Structure 1
């Protein structure tokens, strides 16, 4: 794997820049588009599935609620009939006393018909009927009344007796129409045993309430929001009570075990299931007070059909946008690389020594700036070649001047040494001391042309300077040096202490009236990897405002003193940085203190 990666990396590295750009554009264009398309498709598919299932949930729950309302309406109607006093009285009449009393039986029939007809309407109870004892003359009417003795020999009656539920439900069957006795009407019936209120073990009749099967189918059809899905009701025996679409049901052919698995979660969620060779989402819920289960099954292909269309459209858009973007990138890279190749060709000419080349550039982009820089560079090279030729002629003159500059200090030292020996020969020791101190002073000042000296050399330079000044002013200057020995080997700019000491002597100690002399204390230590040197005198001092103006540029007061101090401060900042330099503290009659702060560096 590593070898393959190394090989691919090597191939990419050795490609021409246009090939690299085109490969990069291909990745940067198609990869984000592919990721965006995939991400969008997944989100759209997930959201569309949620919307479909949410709509199916709402339709399912609404249909379930409406169906439960129909069922409860029939049950409540059966309660009213069951507990009606006239019904109890008529159905418990003594056969021997009323069998031949046709007048009373006719009165009873009319009363019961009027009572049963009061429940009938087209939306809820299509027909209310009673199964009455067979000895009654209206038992064979077969409209509002039926013969219970004949019904007792049917399987439906035996199932009703065996049921412990309050009501039972008969499968789909047809009854005669209310208006004509010729047109059969499919209905679903509720049946309920009527027990003697005084002897509950005795069954005196049966209530039958019919609801149109078409009403139930209409409810289920509204619950089915898909073309290929199905919503149906099946009873405990697995028989289909009603169905929204018979063709879809037979095509799907769901089995009872599948519905039982879906019903275990009490209809709270959708379950995915495989029926035959297709995948479905299934939801079921038991209908209260019945042995029915309401079931809906939706094919997954129908749920994802719209998202598949969106996916195909997005793929097409991705392909079109990608090809257009890649074609545009191909043209742009061609124009860009062409300018780079031209610049590369001119550079090779310069590499071969041809300097009279120039590349024309009219586009002010990065390549245009690079081209302008190349033209400027070639011009500078030509100028430098010419300058080098002119400078070659002046080298000898410069070497001669440098030799002369080295001879002059030696001449000065030799002259001072001559004065020293003449003073000794003539017995004038003061002149000898002056010449020796002056020679030492200038030797340290010149330092062979170097700007950086050690702290030790700078202190020795101050000692020589003070010694000369004491010969001039009758030893009025006392020098007190207290430098940490560790600092002697550190680097420092030369001639930064001497102007400060000179100011202390001239403007501090000597300006004091009737002064017999003064002391200049020089101290040095390390603070936070910085060298801190202080020059303190006990002269006349100055106001704090005047001390603050000494380092300001353009100071008109005492220009000689201010210029020398500002020069030292400026040199320190140029050499070490703006955070370093001088700081003054002074007050009248209390002397002046100058602090020098520079970085700690070894020589």
Structure 2
């Protein structure tokens, strides 16, 4: 117990100040609301349960009484028919004496039809019929009269004979409509055996009284006061006689055994007047059952417990919504209140993170001279100091690189000038040809573009002309072994670029690529240029000897220690580009032995 408590205490202690305050406010607001909601829900649910069960009880009893009245009306009508002397006389006539007496049979039929019609009305007895001996001429009428001989071969007749009850009941079936032009009518039928009054063992006919099923259904529908509950009548075989809502019945799917205890209670004098809890399907229900006298029917009502508590659940949900609204309002107020305290701390924290990510152009405005204000002033002073130090370091690094460049130029230019002048000297002595003029012009152009009046930024076009003059001079030296192929898009010519970027790369391609690969054959240097997503991409490719990929990577990583070889000048160019344009720009090498070398230069697109 102590360990979890210690863990929670540690978590709360390490939380931010605003979270601590918000959690405290939530506890103080939601705890009383939760207790009030729980107390209210219990009281309301208990009262509402009593109210809905009382209403359901009254509706159930009223429907039971009315239904019993309807059924007793049919039973009393069957008594009148059963004990009627004319019925006894007509059904006990001798077949030999009256089998061919169609006049008397017709008189009997008319008299019985009139007698049966007197019982028929739309509300109680929809139709009264008799099953008569098959030899009678009107036995096959199939409206008020039916052939008892044919009926005796059915299971319904066998069940009627086996029953010891006064009457038997047939489940739902359809009979012809009293108005022959309309569809058949679903009915529930009462069957009763008519015995010979002089010889009671002899069955001389059967009474069938029909009540419309929709009348019974309507009675049950009025008894069902809930939306998801169901009231239904079930016979002793488990068949449904009538139901208030078949969709609800199938959804609830009650067990037919629910009524068994009610039938047993009826035999002991207890009619099943109370509500019982039962698990039906996957839900809890309250169930009430009651057996209907003179039938094998049981009237059952089942109400989901969830529907009984639905109103109280609505109140509970309303309370929960109220809790949520209060919580949100309190959270908003707490957020505003705590915001006044911690807003400046969060701002200072945000600015510190920006400095941590390398953004130094930040400042915290604070007009309140409290502890947080003093922290903000100290932070501003510290950031300014760091910014000055970074700028100072940047300027120092830039000056160092410029000095390195000038030192490189001081080393390269005299050496190149010496070789060129020596070549001019030998041309003049040995050949006495006008090539001397070409060499002199190319050399003049080369130095003019190299110096550029002391400016570090030149146009791409000037840089291209610079390498052309350089290659022309080298071709005079190496007997035109070098071919320069320039494929730079014309729209790049006016763009700005650092000077002396391409010439060292072209020089490396000649000395360390083409001349090392071929002693007598020609070599090609291809210079391309394109715009790519707002950036200038220049490539210098040669078809010389190439080098392993590890060696190409080491050129920019400082793997070559000798400052006289190509790595020094390449790293110098890369550092200059990064200092001028940013760390995301610079050189990239791709090479493999025998396939030549390609250098990619990537700088931002800038125009003069």
| TM-score after normalising by structure 1 | 0.49
| TM-score after normalising by structure 2 | 0.49
